[in-house]
């Protein structure tokens, strides 16, 4: 995957995190020192017309999604989103009404999650571009990264897994679920933006482990194919790992018990990332997903 | 100006700054509470191929500029830049070499100014897009905004004003100058991204004042026309106001005395924003500049 290699190259060039930085490139958000009890979380996601949405899509939904994907990044770290900036690329062909509805969507999701819009920038571009940068906070003891899954941990995902093809413009980020999970011992977490396969591979790579998952355990919304869940992405579910002894506690918590599903367990990195299919073949889970390049 | 009106509409919809926010939309950077002695500054700027650079431009310069414009925003608030995230839009036609040189430029300017790259994102886009988000800090007593110019203040600009047409991809942000100025009483400041005219009008609007400037006092680099200095932009000089009694102190400071020029003074808003031309006509300074829409 060109993107994974590219990000790894940049991560190496950026070097180790230095003063003030707890965690740099390579997770859902950067983690900066803030005060004695909290870290500052910082993420940035860009949506481009023709890639993440079409010019026929309702701009309310485009605005909603641009903020939602960023909230999802903060949720994946266990945090609470607080502030966003919005940078646009647009041209004269994008009407005042288009922009006004875009901001209706932005303000609607910001209101729902208690987020303030504090800055922005507008630029000329034929294709519509929206880039949202988000700042949130997380209690130090609740910070969850992609690094930390250990052999023997259970692998879980929120769900039933949504159909990204249908809901990618209107999904609700799993922030509430993340905050409920935050009181338990979560060893690693990532949001599923590019399909279970790619994001599970990312989590495993950062944690230096392998994974064994079971197709029969992956719970899907009606109409969603397993292939789409694995390789299409845009479900924005949370994929996470827990020590086995945590499962009973979580399963007894009614705030979350119905929306999490055990799909497998963490194994050694030498075993790779595998899926047991419905026909009982144990296959390597190929690294493929939503293409960003 | 459609852009100014649009930003004002969004500023009104965003409402007053609430908990944790010292200053939201409408300045070079958002200002967030940080600790007892410092504010956190946060800005975001997007560059789009065909608008801010061409596909023939050296990608080293594109990377440099994308960071430089953000450093300039932090300088305009009196602060020190610390961290950036980099989001890209690119496609298969942008070679590994193009991306590698882009990051050479990014890391070169980051090294020069002590900035860490802590995050990023890549997306598919035919036209190249680079969006940099920046976090910096400023001592509370050194924060400078666009709001605060008072009638009778002098208006100054760093310079001689650079030729944006020639240097817009390779300029050095006026960070050092900003930090030297920070020990004096600066009442308002903005960086000149869109030409003296538009940015002076912005500063006056936020400060609810007018301005009287003098063409004969505007010091330009050789070859730059006054019209370009007023209306073309991309010089990224700092435009600021000071109480008259500060001028002697600043003029005696050798670290800055050669690189600042008094170009006029602040008047009441009812007088508008005017320029005395070289033929002694006092004209309204029209609000025109680099078009973002």
- Predicted ipTM? 0.92
pLDDT grade for A293, boundaries at 50, 70 and 90:
very low
Residue A52 has pLDDT above 80, yes or no: yes
Residue A47 pairs in a beta bridge with: A130
pLDDT of the residue at B293: 44
User: Does any CB of chain B come closer than 8 Å to the CB of residue A95?
Assistant: no
Question: How far apart (Å, rounded) are the C-alpha atoms in residues A209 and B148?
Answer: 56
| Residues of chain B above pLDDT 90, percent | 89
For the residues B40-53, what does the mean pLDDT come to?
96
Higher confidence at residue A266 or residue A4? A266
- How does DSSP classify residue B40? E
- How does DSSP classify residue A140? G
Residue closest to B275 by CA, chosen among B221, B231, B224: B231
How far apart are the CA of B206 and the nearest CA of chain A, in angstroms?
A: 15
Nearest neighbour of A89 by CB, restricted to B44, B88, B129: B129
Residue closest to B77 by CA, chosen among B156, B139, B161: B139
SS3 state of residue A262: strand
Residue pair B178/B76 in contact (Cβ under 8 Å)? The answer is yes
Is the CB of A291 less than 8 angstroms away from the CB of B129? no
Residue closest to A10 by CA, chosen among A34, A38, A30: A30
Residue A135 pairs in a beta bridge with: A42, A83
- Enumerate domains of chain B plus CATH numbers: 2-141 (3.30.1330.10), 144-284 (3.90.650.10)
User: Does any CB of chain B come closer than 8 Å to the CB of residue A21?
Assistant: yes
Is the CB of B131 less than 8 angstroms away from the CB of A18? no
Residues whose CB falls within 8 Å of the CB of residue B195, separated by 6 or more in sequence, listed in order = B228, B229, B230, B231, B232, B233, B288, B289, B290
Q: What's the whole-number average pLDDT of chain B?
A: 94
User: Does any CB of chain B come closer than 8 Å to the CB of residue A89?
Assistant: yes
Residues whose CB falls within 8 Å of the CB of residue B44, separated by 6 or more in sequence, listed in order = A44, A85, A87, A119, A120, A121, A131, A133, B70, B131, B132, B133, B134
Longest dimension (CA), chain A: 58
pLDDT of the residue at B289: 60
Place of tokens 């600042």: B260
For the residues A133-148, what does the mean pLDDT come to?
97
Residue B9 has pLDDT above 90, yes or no: no
């Amino acid at each position: 995957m060109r993107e994974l290699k590219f990000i790894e190259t940049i991560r190496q060039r950026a070097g180790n995190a230095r003063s003030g930085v707890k965690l740099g490139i390579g997770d859902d958000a950067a983690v900066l020192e803030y005060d004695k009890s909290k870290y500052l979380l910082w993420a940035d996601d860009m949506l481009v017309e023709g890639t993440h949405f079409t010019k026929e899509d309702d701009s309310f939904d485009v605005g909603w999604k641009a903020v939602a994907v960023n909230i999802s990044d903060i949720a994946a770290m266990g945090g609470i989103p607080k502030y966003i900036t919005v940078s646009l690329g647009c041209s004269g062909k994008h009407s005042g009404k288009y922009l006004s509805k875009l901001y209706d969507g932005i303000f609607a999701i910001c209101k729902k999650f208690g987020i303030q819009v504090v800055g922005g920038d507008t630029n000329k571009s034929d294709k519509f571009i929206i880039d949202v940068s988000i700042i949130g906070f997380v209690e130090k003891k609740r910070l969850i990264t992609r690094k930390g899954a250990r052999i023997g941990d259970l692998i879980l995902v929120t769900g039933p897994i949504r159909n990204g093809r249908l809901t990618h413009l209107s999904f609700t980020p799993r922030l509430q679920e993340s905050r409920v999970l935050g009181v338990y011992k979560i060893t690693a977490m990532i949001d599923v933006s590019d399909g279970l396969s790619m994001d599970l591979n990312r989590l495993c790579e950062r944690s230096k482990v392998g994974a064994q998952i079971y197709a029969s355990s992956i719970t899907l919304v009606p109409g969603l194919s397993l292939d789409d869940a694995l390789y299409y992405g845009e479900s924005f579910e949370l994929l996470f790992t827990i020590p086995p002894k945590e499962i009973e506690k979580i399963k007894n918590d009614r705030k979350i018990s119905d929306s999490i599903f055990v799909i497998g367990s963490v194994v050694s990195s030498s075993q790779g990332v595998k899926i047991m299919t419905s026909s009982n073949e144990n296959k390597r889970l190929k690294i493929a997903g939503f293409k960003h390049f």
